[in-house]
Amino acid sequence: MKLSRIVSNQNGVSRKRANALIATGRVSVNDEVCREAQQDVSEFCAVSVDGNVIQQARPSRYLMLNKPAGYLSATVDDLHPTVLELIDSTLHDDLHIGGRLDRASTGLLILTNDGNWSRRLTEPEIKIPKVYRVTTEHPITPETHRRFEAGIWFEYEQLTTSPAQIEEINECEARVTIYEGRYHQVKRMFHAVGNRITSLHRERMGSIQLNDELTVGQYRSLTAEEIASV
């Protein structure tokens, strides 16, 4: 949000008055004077006017979870356990999921309270690669490779997916790389070619790779390098 808007909204003054306060050096962001009214300021920054805090800083959270099967990618549910139940309650801080996995799927799941960051990670137009290890009911055919590389037509969205790559491990197991992350995209792509996924495990999103040493149900904070890669 622009600094002038924060000052106007939180300090109860007009936008013109907010601009004047900023221009005269009476507004600080994280204890440093800021004279740029149009500077973008995140919700994780402290903002003060004449030394009075009008926006408290809050900690940002970026977590990697090795999701088990049977858990919903949700923060609350009346019927099924959710992935948030695997996270220490002191870290919740309005966590949401950046790129959901369905209940049966496993692997890399990102939880954060930074909405702008998670949108960059998951927005289809940005085309960050997502890598999945899949097992299929039927052998993966050369035609499947061709169809995936050309893109699959999704009737509901009225679009063709971006080209995807398949790296076969054996005839019914492969790594699949997609660049959009649409709703149930990998399963829908295999369904479109007459096959069915029996297991799906996400290994990577962009430069963020699921740690081999992170056992099922465990989580850790992302490194500064992983956060900056998005």
**Tens digit of pLDDT for each residue in 146-198?**
999 999 999 989 999 999 999 999 999 999 999 998 999 999 999 999 999 99
Same domain, 163 and 50: no
Same domain, 177 and 113: yes
Same domain, 73 and 21: no
3-state secondary structure of 122: helix
For all residues of the chain together, what is the average pLDDT? 94
Same domain, 179 and 120: yes
Residue after which a domain boundary falls, among 55, 82, 98: 55
Same domain, 198 and 148: yes
pLDDT at 43: 85
Residue 114 has pLDDT above 90, yes or no: yes
Q: Which stretches within the chain are classed as H helix? A: 3-11, 15-23, 115-122, 142-150, 185-192, 224-228
Q: Among the options 77, 94, 102, 114, which is catalytic?
A: 102
Instruction: Give percent of the chain above pLDDT 70.
Output: 100
- Whichever domain contains 216, its CATH number is 3.30.2350.10
- Told to judge if 40 belongs to the known catalytic residues of this protein, a careful annotator would answer no
Number of independent structural domains in the chain: 2
Tokens of 174: 């492969």
Same domain, 85 and 51: no
Same domain, 216 and 125: yes
Same domain, 108 and 216: yes
Tokens of 135: 């097992």
Expressed as residue numbers, the domain containing 13 is 3-55
* Nearest of 159, 173, 165 to residue 131 by alpha carbon: 165
Element (H, E) at 55: strand 52-55
3-state secondary structure of 108: strand
3-state secondary structure of 144: helix
Residue showing tokens 């992983």: 226
Cα 203 to chain center, whole Å? 14
Residue 11 has pLDDT above 90, yes or no: no
User: 86: alpha, beta or left, given left = phi > 0 and alpha = psi -120 to 50?
Assistant: alpha
Asked if residue 210 belongs to a domain, the reply is yes
pLDDT at 135: 98
Same domain, 71 and 139: yes
Asked if residue 229 belongs to a domain, the reply is no
Same domain, 204 and 143: yes
Asked if residue 109 belongs to a domain, the reply is yes
Asked if residue 230 belongs to a domain, the reply is no
Asked if residue 207 belongs to a domain, the reply is yes
Asked if residue 86 belongs to a domain, the reply is yes
Residues 6+ apart with CB under 8 A from 116: 42
- Whichever domain contains 49, its CATH number is 3.10.290.10
pTM as predicted? 0.84
The predicted-structure confidence for 48-97, as pLDDT tens digits, reads as follows 999 999 998 889 999 999 999 999 999 888 899 999 999 999 988 789 99
Residue 158 CA to residue 152 CA, distance in Å, equals 11
With cut-offs at 50, 70 and 90, classify the pLDDT of residue 212.
confident
In degrees to the nearest 10, what's the CA dihedral of 84, 87, 89, 91? -110
DSSP strands (E only) in 172-215: 173-178, 197-205, 208-209
- The residue-averaged pLDDT of 91-117 equals 94
